[in-house]
A and B are shown apart, each in its own frame.
Chain A
Amino acid sequence: MTAPAIDRAWLRRRPPVAVPHGVKTSRRARLIFAPSLLVSFLFVYVFIGITGYISLSNWKVGTSPDLSLRQPFGATYGEIVGEQRFQADYRNVIIFTVVFLVLAIVGGLVAALFIHHVAIGRSLFRTVFLLPYALSFIVTGVVWRWIFAPSTGINVFLKAIGIQNPPGWTTDPGIVGAINSIDIGSPLKIQLGIPVALLPIIFAAAWQLVGFAMAMYLAGLASIPEEHLEAASVDGANAWQRLRHIVLPQLWPSTITCFVLLLHVALKIFDLVVAMSGSGPGFVTDVPGIYIYNYLTSRYDKASAMALILLGLTLLVVVPYLMRGYRRERKA
């Protein structure tokens, strides 16, 4: 029962309201933040602006700048949206993001609950789960490529246990659950569905980042007061009810943080795909990152347009999250 005392102490230290202190502090704050604001303005926003301008220009070859605006205005965007490769890339990145987030977050939660409740070897397990996160995507990607190589990898084992036609993994050009067929002349040049070849890559990415999600959840679990769980037990809640009504709601902030941070990984994925499969037959494993890289030297305008569309996709998810945080801060 010491809380009110602290409150009073804090009130006493507060300067009289009459002093226009807020204005002064904010001016000083601005002064202190100015250099970093300036640097981030220059190196982030100005450069985004330049990329945006290039995407509207005629600049094709990287070494021959051509800053005249392309006519009709925004024609590059129209051009790439009609491409099979562009359509496949966004189908892939959306499927990748959704499945990867579910796998990594659920996997991280399960791992965290397991480690939180296991009595022995807790730090050993924590290290085991966290270790892949410390490796580079290129390193793990090469190993995963070998594991999923149809004629030498995991398929050798599958054949040994009697599976005659093991999957082709990243070499399979098929689309599962396709909701359309490709019509000649239609603006939609791909089948919408889940590319089979993408699944091993999603699995590899989730494996690598489960440790990260686990670490976030472990921190969240540690902050749940024991009393809440004890009180629930006393009231007769079983383990599932305690998880469902006490633990999960209090882990919600961890989930949101995981979601936003892992979303970045998914949308920007590049190195893991390059190492594991490249673009794949018919672009079944192609992602916007590889598209941008491929066109950087031959069509600077197209690569820039693709980069901006990817940025737009990121903002679509991140902006609501930031707005929510900002609104909550103002309320508090």
Chain B
Amino acid sequence: MRSPLKITGAAIASAALVGSLAACAANEQANSGASGGKSLEITSWWTSGSEADALGVLTTAVKAADAGLSVDNAAVSGGGGANARQALAARLQAGSPPDTWQLHPAGQLKAYVDGGQVADISQLWSDNGWASKLPKDVADAQQVNGKYYTVPIGVHRGNVLWTNPAVLSKSGVTIDPKGGVDSLIAGLKKVQATGTTAVCLGDKDVFASAELLESLIMARTGADNWKKLFTNSYSFGAPEVKQALNDYTTILGLANKDHSALTWDEAAKNMADGKCAVNLMGDWAFGELGNAGKQPGKDFSWVTFPGQDEVFDYVGDGFSIPAANLKHPDEAKAWLKTLMDPKVQTDFAAKKGSIPARTDADISSLSEYQQQAATAFKSVPVVSSLAHGQVTTAEFAQTYSDAVTALNGGGSIDAFVSTMVQAQSSQLK
């Protein structure tokens, strides 16, 4: 039972275990460090059908530009990119980052810049003259302290009001995008009076209501004051914001009662099925409704979210490259250049349902909605989304999202305002 042989055996076994763990680690190092052939490792959170197809457009293009390049797609699904960002954070800490990764510009980019993890690619920008090909607000969002750290591949719009033409005409309501929020609410109340639910909302994931409130705040404050909210030079306690909060609680009262049990896509489909008149959602809903077999113009239509002046709520995707431990610098730079090719941006947009970031990209082959959005993108002020954590720090975005959850549970407007004002003074320096 207690023979020395057994003990030696146990010791050998445990040594072997430790040894094999070390070997595993060494293997990993060897694999990720191998740089024999030309290769490129890309981390993103594009894994669903249309997203994966869109990513495929990019990898095909970069391979066509560089024969013999092998692309390693290291996409991580789930959580609106949260899982991919966790995985990326671990790899950055370990000093073994992918050659390039997907991120939102502005606030999320700033976190990586502050951590010293993304490379300054200002040279690449000036060599290729990209800044002149983008709306100024969009070019600005790719910078931190005057330097470029990312390239924009596609643009989504957050503040689109999807409408059901049949329900609206039955109630005799038209929604005028220039009519402002008050006329929108009056119209929605008219729909409600006919016995049909006015608003479809699906905020099981709270971003849907956070996006609705965000669109209302932008509509009331305008683009400039929206931007100032995040430099703490305009307060969440301003009368315009409070007005938007009042509008929000009114609209919540006109929405389906079971909104916290539905997901955003279920709510969008309910709207197209005629269960209500309108649904606010980003334009990824356009692709989702199309996949569900709904006809644009017939089953559903759209207007820009009504407000004082038209605002484009920008939810963008870009790619950056690591500042340190970049294994394939030439391939990574070629990748960024491929992303900024106008033809590639158009092909990508066709699959993804977004619009090209470059204003000189040919949009004639895209859908009617995309063409309209692309036109607005060139001509109206572009601001970054808070609900999607783009405009400022992740912490502030989380505070906002928690405050919206509290508001949805019957919390007071005053409590919301005081939470946000306090967050402005403590988090935005």
Interface residue tally of chain A, by bracket? 35 or more
Across the interface, do B10 and A32 meet the contact criterion of CB distance under 8 Å?
yes
Residues from chain B with Cβ under 8 Å of A60 in the complex: 395
Q: Contacts A151-B256, A296-B86 hold; do A145 and B395 have CB atoms under 8 A apart? A: no
Across the interface, do A150 and B398 meet the contact criterion of CB distance under 8 Å?
no
Across the interface, do B10 and A283 meet the contact criterion of CB distance under 8 Å?
no
Residues from chain B with Cβ under 8 Å of A173 in the complex: 408-410
Q: How far is the CA of A85 from the CA of B82 in the complex (A)?
A: 20
Q: In chain A between 1 and 48, which residues have their CB closer than 8 angstroms to a CB of chain B?
A: 25, 28, 31-32, 34-36
In the complex, A77 has a CB within 8 A of chain B: no
Query: Which of B109-117, B125-133, B302-310, B327-335 sits within the interface?
Result: B109-117
Say how far B425's CB is from chain A's closest CB, in angstroms. 14
Across the interface, do A298 and B398 meet the contact criterion of CB distance under 8 Å?
yes
Across the interface, do B114 and A298 meet the contact criterion of CB distance under 8 Å?
no
In the complex, B166 has a CB within 8 A of chain A: no
In the complex, B257 has a CB within 8 A of chain A: yes
Q: Contacts A297-B82, A298-B395 hold; do A281 and B409 have CB atoms under 8 A apart? A: yes
**Which residues on A are within 8 Å of B, measured CB to CB?**
25, 28, 31-32, 34-36, 60-65, 84-85, 145, 148-151, 168-171, 173, 184, 277-284, 286, 293-299
**Which residues on B are within 8 Å of A, measured CB to CB?**
2, 7, 10-11, 14, 17-18, 82, 85-86, 88-89, 92-93, 111-112, 114-117, 204-206, 256-262, 393-395, 397-398, 401-402, 405-406, 408-411, 414-415
Q: How far is the CA of A173 from the CA of B261 in the complex (A)?
A: 12
Residues from chain B with Cβ under 8 Å of A277 in the complex: 204, 260-261
Q: Contacts A278-B206, A282-B406 hold; do A145 and B11 have CB atoms under 8 A apart? A: no
Across the interface, do B205 and A283 meet the contact criterion of CB distance under 8 Å?
no
Looking across the interface, which residue of chain B has its beta carbon closest to that of A280?
B260
Across the interface, do B258 and A150 meet the contact criterion of CB distance under 8 Å?
yes
Across the interface, do B111 and A63 meet the contact criterion of CB distance under 8 Å?
yes
10 contacts between A and B (CB under 8 A): A32-B10, A61-B395, A168-B257, A168-B258, A277-B260, A278-B204, A281-B408, A282-B406, A284-B409, A297-B394
Give the A-B contact count at a CB cut-off of 8 A. 112
Across the interface, do B406 and A64 meet the contact criterion of CB distance under 8 Å?
no
- Interchain CB contact (< 8 A) of B260 among A34, A281, A296, A297: A281
Q: How far is the CA of A65 from the CA of B17 in the complex (A)?
A: 31
Name B's interface SS.
Answer: helix
Q: How far is the CA of A61 from the CA of B395 in the complex (A)?
A: 8
Looking across the interface, which residue of chain B has its beta carbon closest to that of A84?
B406
- Interchain CB contact (< 8 A) of A298 among B14, B394, B405: B394
Across the interface, do B409 and A149 meet the contact criterion of CB distance under 8 Å?
no
- Interchain CB contact (< 8 A) of A282 among B93, B258, B410: B410
Residues from chain B with Cβ under 8 Å of A85 in the complex: 402, 405-406
Residues from chain A with Cβ under 8 Å of B89 in the complex: 62-63, 297
Say how far B264's CB is from chain A's closest CB, in angstroms. 12
Say how far B273's CB is from chain A's closest CB, in angstroms. 12
Residues from chain A with Cβ under 8 Å of B11 in the complex: 31
Say how far A193's CB is from chain B's closest CB, in angstroms. 14
Looking across the interface, which residue of chain A has its beta carbon closest to that of B15?
A35
Residues from chain A with Cβ under 8 Å of B93 in the complex: 63, 65
Say how far A290's CB is from chain B's closest CB, in angstroms. 11
Across the interface, do A61 and B408 meet the contact criterion of CB distance under 8 Å?
no
Say how far A273's CB is from chain B's closest CB, in angstroms. 11
Across the interface, do B114 and A278 meet the contact criterion of CB distance under 8 Å?
no
Across the interface, do B261 and A145 meet the contact criterion of CB distance under 8 Å?
yes
Given contacts A84-B406, A171-B260, A282-B406, 8 further A-B contacts (CB under 8 A): A34-B14, A36-B14, A61-B115, A63-B115, A85-B406, A149-B261, A150-B257, A296-B86
Looking across the interface, which residue of chain B has its beta carbon closest to that of A64?
B115
